């Protein structure tokens, strides 16, 4: 797949199929890699990345939280993203950036080396349709969110996605699209690869940071809601809060707002009025129709 595409790997643009690591690499065999995913859009002046500054800030936070070190500076990574976009004549789509220890680690657990970096440009396609608003179903997972005292949940680390995989698998086996986790304290956390919001009596609510990944979409929705005058708060939410919600939606980089039409055994309006307002606003933002948000985009030329 993707045979004609180039991947930026440690300073070189190489064919997609050559961007590999040894099976015994630390990143693969210990699952120690970290990553970022951000969206690109074609604006009036060319290709732009959605909130690239925030994504790179989170990448650097992941590096710090895991006591690792990147082989490249933030400026070098921005240059690399631009080079990757140009080499692939990138349009609307996603970038996936991986930072990892590519060297073999037979028994070594802690490595001294700086992290390698690989950058993949993935255009929108039938397999990757972005921002398609489609009502989904959601349940509360039997799996709990990783406890923040066992791993730094604010790091976007590949290893955390074994938990995410189990949550999604459990939901699918029960006939739902996505599962939402509780922390070990019983309060709601997030989905496998998505944050969630609920609306009660016109107020937008989402779990607080500290127990979840700092989703860039969640942050953007909170900022956009505040500018629109939609009351919003980040606060601990119980499963009972969700059962009594007027509206629920999930969000992530690929789809800004996915309204939940079925939550456990309840049917919900999807999208409800607040979700609809946010869907329309986010659509205007990513179509460059609202100048209040133009600094959310970084030009990639």
Ligand X SMILES: Cc1ncc(COP(=O)(O)O)c(C=O)c1O
Residue 271, preceding peptide bond in cis (omega within 30° of 0): yes
Residue 8 tokens read as 């930026």
Q: Smaller CB distance to ligand X: residue 164 or 271? A: 164
Check residue 206 for interaction with ligand X (CB under 6 A): no
CB of 120 closer than 8 Å to CB of 85:
no
β-strand partners of 49: 40, 298
| Range in contact with ligand X (rule: CB under 6 A) among 19-27, 68-76, 191-199, 235-243 | 191-199
Residues numbered 221 to 260 that lie near ligand X (CB under 6 A) are 252-253
Kindly state the smallest distance separating residue 161's Cβ from ligand X, in Å.
7
Considering the rule CB under 6 A, would residue 281 count as an interface residue with ligand X?
no
Each as own residue / partner, the long-range contacts of residues 129-132 (CB below 8 Å, 24 or more positions apart, any chain) are 130/39, 130/92, 130/93, 130/94, 130/254, 130/255, 131/254, 131/255, 131/256, 131/282, 131/283, 131/286, 132/255
Tell me the window of 129-137, 189-197, 198-206, 278-286 that interacts with ligand X (CB under 6 A): 189-197
Distance in angstroms (rounded) separating the CA atoms of residues 6 and 18 = 9
**Structure-derived torsion over alpha carbons of residues 75, 81, 83, 88, reported in degrees to the nearest 10:** 180
- By beta-carbon proximity to ligand X, the closer residue of 215 and 275 is 215
Does 190 contact ligand X by CB under 6 A? yes
Between CA 182 and CA 239 the distance in angstroms is 8
Q: Does position 131 bind ligand X by CB under 6 A?
A: no
What is the smallest separation between the CB atom of 301 and ligand X, expressed in angstroms? 24
For ligand X, give the closer residue by CB, 141 or 215. 215
**Scanning residues 133 to 172, which ones bind ligand X (CB under 6 A)?**
164
Of 215, 258, 275, 298, the one binding ligand X (CB under 6 A) is: 215
Minimum separation from the CB atom of position 196 to ligand X (A): 9
* Cα 195 from Cα 192, distance rounded (Å): 8
Which ranges constitute the DSSP H helices of 123-175?
161-173
Stretch in the footprint of ligand X (CB under 6 A) among 107-115, 166-174, 214-222, 276-284: 214-222
Q: Give contact residues for ligand X (rule: CB under 6 A).
A: 164, 190, 193-195, 213, 215-218, 252-253
């Amino acid at each position: 797949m993707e045979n004609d595409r180039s991947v930026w790997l440690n300073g070189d643009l190489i064919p997609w199929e050559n961007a590999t690591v040894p099976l015994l690499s630390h990143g693969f065999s210990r699952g120690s890699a970290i990553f970022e995913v951000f969206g690109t859009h074609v604006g009036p002046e060319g290709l732009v990345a959605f909130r690239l500054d925030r994504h790179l800030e989170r990448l650097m936070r992941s590096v710090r939280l895991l006591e690792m070190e990147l082989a490249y500076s933030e400026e070098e990574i921005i240059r690399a993203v631009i080079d990757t976009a140009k080499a692939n004549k990138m349009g609307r789509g996603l970038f996936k950036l991986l930072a990892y220890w590519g060297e073999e680690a037979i028994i070594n657990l802690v490595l001294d080396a700086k992290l390698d970096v690989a950058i993949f440009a993935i255009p929108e396609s039938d397999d990757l349709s972005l921002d398609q608003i489609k009502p989904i179903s959601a349940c509360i997972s039997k799996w709990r969110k990783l406890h923040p005292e066992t791993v730094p949940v604010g790091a976007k680390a590949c290893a955390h996605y074994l938990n995410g995989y189990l949550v999604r698998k459990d939901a699918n086996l029960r006939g739902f699209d996505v599962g939402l986790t509780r922390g070990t304290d019983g309060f709601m956390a997030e989905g496998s690869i998505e944050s969630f919001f609920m609306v009660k009596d016109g107020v937008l609510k989402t779990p607080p940071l500290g127990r979840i990944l700092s989703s860039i979409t969640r942050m953007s929705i909170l900022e956009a809601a505040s500018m629109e005058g939609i009351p919003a708060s980040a606060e601990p939410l119980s499963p009972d809060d969700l059962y009594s919600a007027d509206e629920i939606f999930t969000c992530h980089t690929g789809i800004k707002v996915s309204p939940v039409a079925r939550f456990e055994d309840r049917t919900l309006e999807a999208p409800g009025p607040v979700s609809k307002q946010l869907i329309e606003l986010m659509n205007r933002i990513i179509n460059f129709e609202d100048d209040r948000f133009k600094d959310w985009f970084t030009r990639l030329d």
